[in-house]
Chain A
Amino acid sequence: MAEAPVRPTTFRPRLRYEGWVSIAGLAIAWQVASLFFPHFLFPSLVEIARHFVAIFGAWDSVADVVETSARILAGLVGAFVFGSVLAFLMGRSESFARYVYPLLNFNQGIPALSWVVISIIWFKGIEFRIFFIMVMTMLPAFSFQILDAYRSMSKDLLEMTLSFRPSRYDLIRMLIVPTVLPGILTAWKVNLGNAARVVVVAELVGATGGIGYALLQQQQIFDMAGAIAWTLILVVFVLAVQRTITVIENWTLRYRPAAERTV
């Protein structure tokens, strides 16, 4: 080929300058507030930054960050695996779906805090408690999203593929996985935010480390700057994972025409 074809421009949810302006505006507003209110209500940016840096300066607090990140990712992977299996079984069997769907809907109404109470009463190990809470709260979203994607599979493409007599493995690899992949990536993006919110609640089950635990300590010593710094770390982690998922999405869904992703 003479020259590389021009790739269509696609919308990428990357921070453009407008995003930075908004964030700067928020920071300035906070800083102005800090000049007029007592510092335990609105600590200055400098104070928050000092805490932020201090967190990375001590092994203990770095370990807290790593612990919570690992719990988020483990919970997501667990919910994804169980959710996919459920979605796949529901997709294969209509009667199985009729039994399980109401249960998932029922689960949707249970608050994370209820799972905290239940898991404390039921289980001993702290890590298992957290994992259980994460999986139970995020499972339905994964199942619903993947099942929807599975059910949207094109009958035309299925018949076309079947006419070549693929093995079950080839059918899954060539047709089913590419069909549900957009749904899987969406489910990950949606659930990532949920996971970050649930994990800090889950860490109240008696964890002696992690961002949730650190936040609880800040509350006890009434340190707003510390609380904000810890929160920011969680936000940064979520943004970093989000970005990773977007990169994966841009690569795996590169076959899509540009117009599809901008709507």
Chain B
Amino acid sequence: MSATDLEIVFDRVNKSFERPGGSAFEAVRDLSFTVARGDLVAVLGKTGCGKSTMFNLLAGLIQPSAGTVRVQGRNPYRDFDWFRSKVGIVFQNDRLMPWRSALENIALGLEINKMPRAEREAIAARWLDRLGLSGHAQDYPHALSGGMRQRVSIARAFAVKPDILLADEPFSALDEVTGNALRAEFLDLVRDTGATSIFITHSIDEALQLGRRILVFRRPARLVYTAAGGNDVASAARAKIRAEILRALADEALEERETIP
């Protein structure tokens, strides 16, 4: 694989936050991994292990304290504007603008990209149809259910046709039935677009089912385990991977217990 095929590169990245007292809190330590173009990667790790912080670094919303982050060969923090419409993010909570209708929320990124109104509304309307929300175009977010709102936020991320798609536990706030239905749709969409995708989850099954590669993080965020996932992995191998992931996550529990006096 040539270096140009690497869409995302994390190289010995550290990230510390300043605590109110003035001391530093280390959220990411020595994190290195790469993602090839078109890959679909699932990231597993316990709550608070720095997965969302990794996304914020990737999205250029925060700067690494040390190390380098490269996305399509560029620095996402420094070359912030260059990434317009290249990155789409589905957040854990829907983050819809309450003053925009479902249609206008989906069209947000397109509007920022200066697409004319008629064009962007036509695209947004197609997304509403595709996600089973036709008839709700003019509804404000407060009038939609949690599942519908998350659909709108998924459509908003996909509508700009991003090269890179980031999803941060987008189904964890939904009930199981709604979450499962949406997960299947989401996977279809990701396959259709062919975007390089990173998918954060705390469900091992979800990671095994969705990810072609699985990364396991440990606190403070660093890579402790990598495996292949997806449907082409034989079920015997899958059981073994599952056990290994569990161990990678469980070791952390031991480690935590050791650090607590």
Query: On chain A, which size bracket covers the interface?
Result: 10 to 19
A167 cross-chain contacts in B, Cβ below 8 A: 112
B61 at the A interface (CB under 8 A): yes
Residue of A nearest to B160 (CB): A164
Within 8 A of A (CB), among B71-86: 80-81, 83-85
> A255, B93: Cβ atoms under 8 Å?
no
Task: With A163-B61, A164-B84, A256-B142 as known contacts, state yes or no: A178 contacts B97, CB within 8 Å.
Answer: yes
Whether B109 sits at the interface, judged by CB under 8 Å, is yes
Given A163-B59, A163-B87, check contact A156 B112 (CB 8 Å).
no
Interface SS, B side: loop
Question: Is A257's CB within 8 Å of the partner chain B?
Answer: yes
* Complex interface: chain B residues within 8 A of A163 (CB): 59, 61, 87-89
Chain B residues contacting A170 (CB-CB under 8 Å) are: 111-112
Which residues of B, 18-43, contact A by the 8 Å Cβ criterion? none
Count how many chain B residues have C-beta atoms less than 8 Å from C-beta atoms of the other chain: 29
Q: Which residues of A contact B48 (CB under 8 A)?
A: none
Closest to B80 in A: A165
**Could you tell me the distance between the alpha carbons of A160 and B85 in the complex, rounded to whole angstroms?**
13
> In the complex, what's the smallest C-beta–C-beta distance from B111 to chain A, in angstroms?
7
B135 within 8 A of A: yes
Query: CB of B186 within 8 A of chain A?
Result: no
What residues of chain A lie closer than 8 Å to B132, measured between beta carbons? none
Give Cα distance in the complex from A83 to B33, angstroms.
49
Q: Is residue A175 contacting chain B, with contact meaning CB distance below 8 A? A: yes
Q: Does A161 lie at the interface of the complex (its beta carbon under 8 Å from any beta carbon of B)?
A: yes
| B97 and A164 form a contact (CB under 8 A) | no
Give Cα distance in the complex from A255 to B111, angstroms.
20
> 25 A-B pairs, CB-CB below 8 angstroms?
A156-B93, A159-B59, A159-B61, A160-B89, A160-B95, A162-B61, A163-B61, A163-B87, A163-B88, A163-B89, A164-B84, A164-B112, A164-B113, A165-B80, A165-B81, A165-B83, A165-B112, A174-B111, A175-B97, A178-B97, A178-B99, A255-B98, A255-B99, A255-B100, A257-B142
